[in-house]
Structures are given as C-alpha cells and as structure tokens.
Structure 1
Amino acid sequence: MARVIAVSNQKGGVGKTTTTCSVAAGLKKRGFRVLAIDLDPQGNLGFSVGADTTISASIYDVLKGEVKIQYAIQRLKAMDVIISSILLSGIDLEYTSTGREYLLREALAPVQDFYDYILIDTPPALGILTINAFTASDYIIVPMLPDIFSLQGIAQLYETVVRVQKYCNNTLSIAGILLTKYNPKTHLGREVRGTAELIAEDLHIRVFDAFIRSSVVAGEAQSVQKSLFDYAPHATVTRDYEKFIDELLAKGV
C-alpha cells in the first residue's frame, strides 16, 4: 500500500512543484515505485518532467469518472505521472454534493498497491482540490519561503488540516515544514527559521533539519523537462533534496 504525500502551501512560488518532482525522482532513483499527481490547474509538474500534456488523459478526467486512473498514468524515466488540466480550476462549481472531498481518495484506490509512494502537487489555495489531496494523503510536506509573510500562512494551513482530520481523514499528519530558497548565512533567514520553529512547536509539528537553497539550476532543469537528479546530479540544490529524502526516510515518512 502506497504512502500518499501531499506537498502543499496556499502561497504560490514556494517550491511545491520543484519539491514534488525532486522528491519523486529521488525516491525513484533509490528503487521505490513512485507516482506523482499534478493537482494544480496550472499543470507545471507535468510539463517539467516531460509528460505529454496534449492528448493524454488528466487527473480531471479521472475525477470526473470518464477515465480509469490506470489509463491516465504516464510512465516516464524519472517517475510515473498523471498530468493536470486547466479544467480543474472549475471543479469547485462542478461538484457541490456531499462526498466531493473523497473524489481523489476513491480514484487512487485501484493503484495504491502498485506504488510505494504517491506524491501530490497541490494548487496554491485551500479549496476543494487541496481538501481532496489532504483527504487522500497520509502526510503533508509544507514548503515555505524564509520570509515573514510565509509564517502568517502556516496557522491557516494548520486549521485546514485540523478540519480535514476531524471530518475526512483522521490519520492525516503534517510531516513537517521544509524551508526552500533558504540561505542559512543571512540574519533574516536564521531569524525566520527560529520563528518557524517556535510556531511549529506550538502546533506540534516539526521544521525539517534539511533545507533547500536557492539555485538557478532548479529552473533550468524544469525548462529542459528533466529532474534535478538527471540534469545536475552534483548541484548544491540536488544534494539538498538528497538530504531531505534521507530525513524523510529516517523519520518513517
């Protein structure tokens, strides 16, 4: 049975797609069976790993019940992937009935035994798509920029998680906060990390020891549709993700 991990933060530009792609590719390199699902209507994950985004079925087709999930999976070198669709942006209006929070969980059921990990890239919002991801997941990874504005969103995200735990998925837990585009040498970076650790302690969650430094290599890898591990295996940012995966596995995630 696969462990399902949502990568989520209601703020955009924090590295959700890069983290989803890099963790999925890194786990695949270590011999795990990995599926990545792009639940963000912008569809950046599918593009960044070189998936077909023109004629292949998307997670929207799966949630609508028009395609079985097995037929939406694209098997790539870096990982298996299910692409997104811009039509996901209207799913709040399409589905208004009771039980809409469980669409993704029910869709994943037929393939969960075929993977060790399923990672979900979520949109920068706390709407029904993110609720679906949380309802289907075992863990949440929260990428966060080292700035004061990012700190303000953690409590709101936590409140959403608590509601999902209460009504939809009582086994859901936040694996931790991952600092991205982080420079441990700056005063602001260290100060924000300290504040994040205080907030996390109050909410009974952790800030990961590993962090991801800022690097142009991540953007370059996405532009040529390769994972960091294939594009620049020895780059600083790639080593950062290696350490993060080490920590995830060491902590039982």
Structure 2
Amino acid sequence: MDAHVSGTARIACLNHKGGVGKTTCAVNLAAGLAGAGFRVLAVDVDPQAHLTASFGLHVPPGRDLAAVLGGALPAGEACIALGKLSVLPASSALAEAEMALSRQDAPVTLLREQLEGCAGFDVVLYDCPPHLGPLTRQALGAARGVFVPMTPDFLALQSLAWLMETLGADNGGPGVRGIVLNRFSQRKRLHREVQSAVAGHFPGIPFATCIRENVALAEAPSHGQDIFRYAPASAGAKDFAALCREAAKRLDLAGRARS
C-alpha cells in the first residue's frame, strides 16, 4: 500500500522486540529529515516517552498524546514546534490511556482521526511501544508504511520473520517500507551474516545504509538532543544523514523540502 495520503508520508517505526534502537531511529530520522528541509511531525506513542525525552521536552500534565486520545485536547494544541520538526509528546499517562483503549475496544482509526487537524507535514513518524498492543495498533491504523529497526543478531532476525509475517497477515494494514540494521559492525562476521540473511529473505526492503555502533548515539538522549545537534561530526550523524537521504528517496519526498 502506498505510504502517502494527502501528500503526507506516514511511517510507524516499529519492532515488538525491545532494545533494537527503535527510538534512536525515530528521533534521528525525524531530526535529519527536518534538517533536510522537510516538515516533520514525530508522534511519541510509547508510554515510556523516550522520544519525548530524547528531544529534551518536559510535558505539563494533560498536554500529551494521552489527552489527545482521550478527546480532552486537540492534537494541534499538544504539538511542540522545534523549527521544521514538531513533536506530539507522550508521558506515563499514556499507559492508562492504553488500558482505556483496550477496555473500550476503541477503533484502530482513533489516532488517525485525532491527527486529521495536523496538516501541512511532509512526513509523520510514529515511535511505537515494543509490543503489538492497543497503542501500536493505533499507530498502524494511522500509518501507511512501517520502518523496522533491528540489531544484527539471530534472535532479532527470528523476531523480524515473525513480525513480517504478522504485518503481512494484517490485510489492509501498512506494508514494511524499510528495515534498518542498527549497531552494526562490518568487522563482525555475525553482523555480516545477519545482513546477508535479511537481504536474502526480504529483497528490496532493507536500507543499504546501516547504523554503525557509535557511543555518541547512546549519549545524545541524556543531553536531550538528536545526534545532529549533539555530535554532528560523529559516525552516527553521518550514518543517519545517509539513511535520511535514502528514506526521502524511498518515500518519494523529492521537491518537498523547503529552506
């Protein structure tokens, strides 16, 4: 299915396996695409609120995605503008909101409907929780494509196969538009073997760009900064800049960037 609706690429950054660098990818893809001139909305759909924290944001009570999903606040009023990048933040209140979604058997279109007032973005990125629960289902209902970050190990490869099968069985759901190998080292044979296996099992889906192991990527969130602000000359910044160029091409964003 096409990733575009009304001219906006809407992508869920998703892996049900924790610790694979999902939020790192969501944060730095959002920042990198915004830095390239695209208008980006990053939506924190995880009650852990790691994307929110990674941008150094402090959210007053009742001003986050939980309030939006509960109908207490329009999405546009909850968004925080950081130049061409806007963030719809999360807080721990989102955990209670997720339970409410489950109890109410809310339609998977709820998040999409609540975001309809947020117009004018070239890209919307949803940072999902590390499980396929109600909040992830909301993100999938709002997205029109999925990026899957993963680490180069065989347990992650096994989980990837299950996730791809699950998403493929969800008729009408968004398709996987890219797989990102994170914490990659060309020197490690296991990493090269996993890279080859992913390319062989899912041809045309993995990004050519791999995100190398880089300490600056681990340090940046503690400073409330993306990698481009924290360490612009680092290997992490170079890798994410390359990944953003590749993602922009894959999502057909050419000609939309503004100075």
TM-score (norm 2): 0.89
Q: Does 1:72 align with 2:78?
A: yes
Superposition deviation, residue 52 in structure 1:
1.9
CA positional deviation for 1:184: 1.4
Is 1:51 the equivalent of 2:50?
no
Counterpart for residue 23 of structure 1: 29
Classify 1:163/1:136 alpha carbon distance in 2 versus 1 (closer, same or farther; 3 Å).
Answer: farther
Residue 125 (1) aligns with residue 127 (2): no
Letter in 2 for 1:248: A
Amino acid at match of 1:123: P
The match for 1:116 is: 122
The TM-score with structure 1 as length reference comes to 0.91
What is the CA distance between 1:76 and its match in structure 2?
2.0
Work out whether residues 9 and 251 of structure 2, in 8 Å CA contact, stay in contact via their aligned partners in 1.
Answer: no
Gaps of 5+ in 1: none
Deviation at 1:85, TM superposition (A): 2.1
**Counterpart amino acid of residue 186 in structure 1:** K
1:134 aligns with 2:140: yes
Q: Which runs of 5+ in 2 are unaligned?
A: 1-6, 253-259
TM-aligned CA distance change 1:31 to 1:83, over 3 Å: same
Poorly superposed stretches of 4+, deviation over 6 Å: none
Q: Residue 114 of structure 1 aligns to a residue in which SS?
A: coil
Q: Deviations over 1:184-211 (max 9, x none)?
A: 121111111111222224xxx6111100
Shift of 1:50: 1.3
Where is the helix percentage greater, Structure 1 or Structure 2?
Answer: 1
Q: Aligned partners of 1:29 and 1:121: how far apart in 2?
A: 19
Q: 2:256 — aligned with what?
A: none
Return the match for 2:160 from 148, 154, 160: 154
Q: Distance in 2 between matches of 1:191 and 1:244?
A: 21
Which position in structure 2 is the counterpart of 1:211?
Answer: 210
Which SS does the other structure have where 2:244 is aligned? helix
CA contact 2:157–2:198 (8 Å) conserved in 1? yes
Of 169, 173, 176, the match for 2:175: 173
Counterpart pick for 1:104 among 107, 111, 131: 111
How far 1:99 moved relative to its partner?
4.6
Are the counterparts in 1 of residues 38 and 84 from structure 2 also a CA contact under 8 Å?
no
